Amino acid sequence: MTASAEAAQTNVRDLACEILFQVDARKAYADVLLDRALRLHPLSELDRALLTELVYGTLRWRGKIDAELARHLQRPLAKTDAALRNLLRIAGYQLLFLEKIPDYAAVNESVELAKSRRGTKAAGFVNGVLRSLLRDKTRGRAPNPATRSVDEIAVEYSHPAWLVRRWVKEFGLDAARDLMRANNQRAPLSLRVNLLRNSREELLQRFADAGIQAAAGEYSPQAVLVQPAGAVENLPGFSTGLFQVQGEASQLIGFLLAPVPGERILDACAAPGGKTTHLAELMKDSGEVIAVDKSAPGIEKIRRNLGRLEIRSARVMQADAGENIPGLEPESCDRILLDAPCSGLGTLRAHPEIKWQRTESDIHRLSGLQAKLLRRAAVNLKPAGVMVYATCTLSRAENERNIELFLAEHREFELEEAARYLPLQARHMVRSSFYQALPQRDGTDGFFAARLRKVS
């Protein structure tokens, strides 16, 4: 390896360490920090790919890496300096999971980085831990195929024990293992074709002409999957509004609501606007979509997406959907989409940091907020109107249980069969009339939705 190549890789590791430090210490979002780093630093395509791999790979396998590192530490990893802790994790990921980076390079560069960040003593500490880990790796330890305990499963699949316990209870042991295995895979970039501007076939041809590998999605008639993708802003057609970034499972929510041109639709909790823009497209940009969100940055994202996609039927409003929405009269909306704030446990392929940031108490807190939002949204729906409640999580407390409680309190609503409204190729994604996409079965994010009609 040349000196310039070593310097570049050191820079990449330094960037990865800083991103993981922010995720760990401040509960920041990895994708936001990574996008910012890729914009600010002139890296080659290889270095951009390495930075992405180090960040996401380390987050996916953090539980297993931490367990291996703990065997070579005299005190808990959590009590180690945060910068060194994440530097050790990055090095551990390279030693345990990456074959193309030589072990000596991973160790030496990590030691140098520790020295530059925390001094000679820290460098010696990192060197000792990694050399010990490397010796242990060389000897090898065969995994126990009869792993039974929750703690062992949590380490093997790199998920927190509380979440393993919950999923084993809700899905069964084998399905929980499959789910966690799927969560540790890379997610493709999923796009939704803007049918107001072009067709899926036209967008795929545009990508092919530019030498970009892309394929039609399996379940949504508007989905295009791109892998690897690079910066989405650099894809042909992005700046001219030919597509919107949106997961394929998320795209199916629009079909489930099934809006009709000329209707008035409320999209509560609408940021960043993926579903807002989809609803407007499905309505042929005719009618009104009221996009509500209480976050000012979220509102700005919705406006940017509406402008880029040249959608005119949507009206954006900063307000709390859990309270009275100014200017919105009761029973004034034909359809309502409540894409509720949730724990996000269905999106761990793209956001692996979530599993280390969420706690079981978050699920209880969020389920209460979701129930409040459901009750508030129901007031705005016309008789015979339709409301879809959706989350991107896999938690019964946030999903089925919320709908069961709502229906018990609101006899004027009934649950409709989701399969009747989904595209034919997606109708298997139904469980007890609810829409449910599963990473291990469908290769998508985990999603849940219930379609409710106000019958009186």
Per-residue pLDDT tens listing for the chain (456 residues): 444 454 455 589 999 999 999 999 899 999 999 999 998 998 898 999 999 999 999 999 999 999 999 999 999 999 999 999 999 999 999 999 999 899 999 999 999 999 998 999 999 999 999 999 999 876 655 555 555 799 999 999 999 999 999 999 999 999 999 999 999 999 999 999 999 999 999 999 999 999 999 999 999 999 999 987 678 999 999 999 999 999 999 999 999 999 999 999 999 999 999 999 999 999 999 999 999 999 999 999 999 999 999 999 999 999 999 999 999 999 999 999 999 999 999 999 999 999 999 999 999 999 999 999 999 999 999 999 999 999 999 999 999 999 999 999 999 999 999 999 999 999 999 999 999 999 999 999 999 999 999 998
Rounded to the nearest 10 degrees, how much is the dihedral formed by the CA atoms of 366, 251, 177, 451?
Answer: 60
The one catalytic residue among 269, 333, 342, 392: 392
Residue 392 appears among annotated catalytic residues: yes
Q: How far apart are CA 297 and CA 318, in angstroms?
A: 10
Question: Which run of H or E residues covers position 375?
Answer: helix 360-379
Distance CA 191, CA 216 (A): 10
The CA distance from 329 to 381, in Å, is 9
Q: What's the pLDDT at 144?
A: 59
Query: What does the longest C-alpha to C-alpha distance in the chain come to?
Result: 74
Instruction: Enumerate the β-bridge partners of residue 314.
Output: 289
Residue ranges and CATH numbers for the domains of the chain are 3-141 (1.10.940.10), 248-454 (3.40.50.150)
Strand 381-391 vs strand 413-416: parallel, antiparallel, or unpaired? unpaired
Q: Model-level pTM?
A: 0.93
Antiparallel, parallel or unpaired: β 333-339 and 381-391: parallel
The pLDDT, as a whole number, for residue 11 is: 86
Q: Phi and psi at residue 204, in whole multiples of 5°?
A: -60, -40
pLDDT at residue 227, as a whole number: 81
Structural tokens at position 98? 């990456």
What confidence score (pLDDT) does residue 3 get?
44
Nearest Cα neighbor of 321 from 379, 385, 246, 282 is 379
Token reading at 341: 């704030």
Cis peptide bond prior to 383, omega within 30° of 0: no
Map tokens 């060389």 to a residue. Answer: 138
What integer pLDDT is reported at residue 1 of this predicted model? Answer: 44
Contact assessment for residue 369 and residue 377, using Cβ atoms and an 8 Å cutoff: no
E-strand stretches of 127-216: 189-193, 214-216
Quick one: tokens of 223? 């989905």
Model pLDDT, residue 146: 56
CA distance 191 to 182: 20
Residue in this structure with the two tokens 């407007």, named with its chain if needed:
280
Cβ partners under 8 Å of residue 136, min gap 6:
68, 71, 72
Determine the pLDDT at residue 206: 97
Q: Residue 15 class from Cβ within 10 Å (0-12 exposed, 13-18 middle, 19+ buried)?
A: buried
Residue 73: C-alpha distances to residues 22, 61, 112, 169 (Å): 23, 18, 20, 33
